[in-house]
Amino acid sequence: MSIAALIFWIVTALGGFYLLGNWLRGGGLRQEQSGVTRFRPPLIFGHFLLAAAGLIVWIVYVIADQAAIAWAAFIIIALVALLGFTMFARWLTVYRARVPASVPAGPPAAGAGGGVVPAEQHLPVPIVAAHGVLAATTLVLVLLSAIGVGGS
């Protein structure tokens, strides 16, 4: 179970890294100062850094097989999930406000009426969905491993 959690965590992290790259390429950091983006850097980078730290803790758990380390990783991933759910809720409001496909979007950085498109609109829906499903699965696998289901 712990190896399955590790694999899911790595795949989830790869998807998250891809999403972070898209947000940065879409101008997320520049948009933060003007208030266009709904993702604040402390939120997005906190999610990323906590997830990376949790993954490292989980790797240590897989090697050491100590229950306290598994629980520490679970607490970290639970915090990561809360930050991720916050970002998902913010992304969802931006996604729902998207310009319809029939309206010309203009240049890549402009939306209808010449307004700036939030960087979150550059996040592909299938990747966002897959990242969320994989993250939820990882959270469950980590919890199951921590309580001892499936052995070490």
What is the pLDDT tens value at each position of the chain, 152 positions in all?
999 999 999 999 999 999 999 999 988 888 887 878 888 889 999 999 999 999 999 999 999 999 999 999 999 999 999 999 999 998 988 888 775 443 344 444 444 444 678 888 889 999 999 999 999 999 999 999 999 987 65
Residue 132, CA distances (Å) to 4, 28, 58, 129 in order: 17, 20, 19, 5
Cβ(77)–Cβ(83) below 8 Å: no
Helix boundaries (H) for the chain: 2-25, 28-34, 41-64, 67-96, 125-146
β-partners of residue 116 are 110
Question: The pTM is what?
Answer: 0.82
